[in-house]
């Protein structure tokens, strides 16, 4: 059963038609990884009216995460999925999060995400990105990946590329966190590009 609209949801009604808001509030967004990309993307989607998330991340919040991830010092030590759920439900109490702390492999990558309308890949490790790419070969829902967001400057290089019918890739496709550090500005830009693609797809807007 859907929750009644709260003050936050009433306040954003002016930004959408009733039909658009209904689409956003019934969509289920799967986010694989709750670090810099996943946390920023989820928060932007929550502020945009998305109510339902499935999120998997096995890690806990560390002090070294706070330069780019949407967490707070008092959340250090908590599972990222728990800390992110806390933030999301502060924004909108009607938000629901189906959360997992599993280590995902190519074979288990999509085990929790069968109900997701859109999949957002937000892994740090290249190996996990490769496993995700392999796992979605037969997936029909839209998938949004990240490739190349490290460093400072040249943020206009963080573009969007479409591959095939349902895969979108955000990033410059060459910068690597093994060569340079991920910093808040480029991470947030890329995460918000992912969120923007999610909204565009749901609402029938042009992505590119």
Whether residue 20 lies inside any domain: the answer is: yes
Could you give the percent of the chain with pLDDT greater than 70?
Answer: 98
Alpha-carbon separation of residue 160 from 34, 43, 107, 149, 150 (angstroms) = 21, 20, 27, 12, 16
Whether residue 73 lies inside any domain: the answer is: yes
Whether residue 153 lies inside any domain: the answer is: no
- Tell me what pLDDT residue 145 has: 98
The per-residue pLDDT for range 137-196, each reduced to its tens digit, is 999 999 999 999 999 999 999 999 999 999 999 999 888 776 788 999 999 999 999 999
Whether residue 120 lies inside any domain: the answer is: yes
Residue 106 domain boundaries: 16-143+192-203
The per-residue pLDDT for range 87-140, each reduced to its tens digit, is 999 999 999 999 999 999 999 999 999 999 999 999 989 999 999 999 999 999
Whether residue 86 lies inside any domain: the answer is: yes
The structural domain count of the chain equals 1
- Tell me what pLDDT residue 1 has: 44
The predicted model gives 39-46 an average pLDDT of 98
Taking alpha carbons only, the member of 178, 55, 192 closest to residue 125 is: 178
pTM attached to this predicted model: 0.95
Alpha-carbon separation of residue 41 from 107, 165, 178, 194 (angstroms) = 25, 22, 22, 7
Whether residue 99 lies inside any domain: the answer is: yes
Whether residue 103 lies inside any domain: the answer is: yes
Whether residue 105 lies inside any domain: the answer is: yes
Instruction: Look up the CATH number of the domain holding residue 72.
Output: 3.40.50.720
Token pair 């859109």 in the structure block, residue: 118
């Amino acid at each position: 059963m859907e929750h009644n609209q709260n003050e936050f949801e009433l306040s954003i009604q002016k930004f959408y038609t009733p039909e658009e808001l209904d689409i956003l509030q019934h969509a289920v967004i799967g986010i694989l990884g709750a670090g810099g990309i996943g946390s920023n993307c989820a928060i932007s989607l929550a502020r945009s009216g998305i109510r339902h998330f499935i999120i998997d991340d096995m890690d806990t919040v560390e002090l070294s995460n706070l330069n780019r991830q949407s967490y707070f010092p008092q959340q250090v030590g908590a599972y990222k999925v728990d800390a992110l759920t806390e933030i999301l439900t502060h924004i909108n109490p009607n938000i629901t999060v189906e959360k997992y702390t599993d280590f995902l492999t190519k074979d288990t990558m999509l085990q929790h995400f069968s109900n997701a309308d859109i999949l957002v890949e937000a892994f740090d490790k290249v190996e996990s990105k490769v496993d995700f790419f392999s796992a979605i070969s037969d997936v029909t829902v839209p998938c949004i990946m990240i490739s190349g967001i490290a460093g400072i400057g040249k943020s206009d290089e963080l573009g969007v590329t479409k591959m095939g019918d349902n895969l979108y890739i955000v990033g410059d496709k060459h910068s690597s966190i093994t060569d340079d550090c991920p910093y808040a500005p480029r991470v947030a830009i890329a995460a918000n590009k992912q969120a923007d693609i999610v909204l565009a797809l749901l609402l029938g807007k042009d992505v590119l």
